[in-house]
Structure 1
Amino acid sequence: MLEKELSSLRVMLAKKTSAGQSKTFPDVRFRNEETRKRILVTGGAGFVGSHLVDKLMMDGHEERVSIRIARIFNTFGPRMHMNDGRVVSNFIIQALQGKPIT
């Protein structure tokens, strides 16, 4: 009886995971070397760029998506210089020298 319940749960789970995918991917056409283009998309992780990449892939083009992770504004880490003029590093220098933080 337990085995029967488990098998029915497995079937339900398989149906739910296959039907519950958030994004469906269409069939991709493959082009030969003469008609295929190589396209570099900058900003391909954003809304417009990701849709552009999807469309280009559906058309059979080869994709390269350039993604960069930007450093958060005014952060400070061990490899940064104290006198680089950033707000956080200036605060640290002023605090270490006992000056008022401006």
Structure 2
Amino acid sequence: MRLLRSILALAALLAAPLAEAVLTANVLRDTIQGNQLARFDLVMARIRINHLQYTADYLPGENTIRIHITRLDGTQYMQAFMGNRLASAYFNAPQPYGDSRRRPRKGNAKRS
């Protein structure tokens, strides 16, 4: 529980809500990768900081942490850490950086 309290204290200091979630997830991931599993007894925690609802799940068999964040407007964001890999996804909301990365290149249009 001391680990959870320190995570909450660090996350509360950040101004950006998404940065809070990323910091929380990074601390949890570092804890698991640092072979501190014996002291990591948090299986599920629900945390509420600055209008966000966090749910952290640790899956011991898969060595995975899932962080679910829900804002008051209903936007949901999920991060999953599997070893060193990070997977992120938004639900019910536009992507944070817009669609500018997915524009087709000029000259690649289908010809009929």
The question of a shared fold, defined as TM-score above 0.5 by the shorter chain, is answered with no
More strand by share: 2
More helix by share: 1
Query: Taking CA–CA contacts closer than 8 Å with sequence separation of 6 or more, which of the two structures ends up with the larger relative contact order?
Result: 1
Normalised by the shorter chain, which TM-score bucket? under 0.3
Q: Report the TM-score, using the length of structure 1 for normalisation.
A: 0.25
Task: Tell which structure's C-alpha radius of gyration is larger.
Answer: 1
